[in-house]
Each structure stands twice: as structure tokens, then as C-alpha cells.
């Protein structure tokens, strides 16, 4: 007996009864995998209109090597963060703005921001 599940306008079928044998057509591509991964692939398609096969979604999940590379550095009350381990992938959130780049460039920008804040405070007194 075929099992059918509908997810975001797509029909996902399982004819064999095996939990890893769900099939669907996403963006003209036929895929076969676990139900949860096919749903994630459909979500990706619906949100970005680009096809992402289920096996690629598995590779990006909870990569322990990536999680251990997270670095945080304090600089004058701001937290500079790097999740990738690459030198030019640092970032900091200033108010509601995201600033990205190398640590030296971010620190230089922060020094300018701090100096402007001090000047504004001095003018308001």
C-alpha cells in the first residue's frame, strides 16, 4: 500500500514501506530519501527556488568540526565573533548593524565609532 504525504504543495510517496524510501519530485528533480530530509529539501525549494538535494542537507547538519572553530574576542566592550575559522569572516553587532571583515578592520571601525560617541557625549554636556 502506498503512503502519501503532502507538504507545501508537493506529494511525497512511499510505496515500499521502508522508512528511508520516500520519493518526490522537486523542481523537476526526482529525489528519494528519508521523509524529514525530503521535507527540508522542499522547504529549501519553496523559500529560495533553488534545488538542494537531501544528501546535501545531511552534510551541513551539526558539523562538529565547524562548531569547535567558533572564536570570540572582546574589544572595548564589543564581542568580535568568528564561526568559520577564516581570517576575514569576523563579525560584530553594533546596535542593530552587522559589521563583517578582518579583526583589524573591525577594530579600526570600532575605534572610530567609540570616538564619535565620546564627541557626541561631550557636546551634549
Average of per-residue pLDDT values in the chain: 85
Residue identified by cell 574589544 is 75
Report the C-alpha gap between 53 and 120 in whole angstroms.
Answer: 53
Q: Calculate mean pLDDT across residues 19-24.
A: 87
Q: Degrees (nearest 5) of the Cα angle 109, 111, 102?
A: 40
The pTM for the full model equals: 0.48
What are the sequence ranges of the domains in the chain?
3-59, 64-124
Select the more confidently predicted residue: 65 or 102.
102
Residue 85 pLDDT grade (very low, low, confident, very high; cuts 50, 70, 90): confident
Sheet of 71-75: strands edge to edge? 71-75, 78-82, 90-94, 97-101
Q: Tell me: pLDDT of 12 over 90.
A: yes
Pair 35, 22: CB distance under 8 Å: yes
- 30-53 tens-digit pLDDT: 999 888 899 999 988 888 888 888
Q: What is the pLDDT of residue 87?
A: 81
Q: What is the pLDDT of residue 6?
A: 92
Q: Tell me: pLDDT of 69 over 90.
A: no
Amino acid at each position: 500500500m502506498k503512503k502519501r504525504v503532502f507538504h507545501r504543495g508537493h506529494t511525497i510517496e512511499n510505496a515500499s514501506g521502508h522508512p528511508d524510501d520516500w520519493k518526490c519530485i522537486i523542481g523537476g528533480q526526482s529525489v528519494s530519501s528519508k521523509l524529514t530530509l525530503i521535507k527540508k529539501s522542499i522547504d529549501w525549494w519553496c523559500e529560495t527556488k533553488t534545488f538542494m538535494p537531501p544528501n546535501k542537507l545531511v552534510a551541513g547538519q551539526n558539523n562538529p568540526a565547524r562548531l569547535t572553530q567558533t572564536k570570540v574576542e572582546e574589544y572595548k566592550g564589543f564581542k568580535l565573533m568568528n564561526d568559520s575559522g577564516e581570517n576575514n569572516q569576523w563579525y560584530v553587532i553594533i546596535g542593530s548593524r552587522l559589521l563583517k571583515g578582518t579583526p583589524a578592520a573591525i577594530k579600526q571601525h570600532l575605534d572610530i565609532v567609540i570616538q564619535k560617541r565620546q564627541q557626541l557625549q561631550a557636546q551634549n554636556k
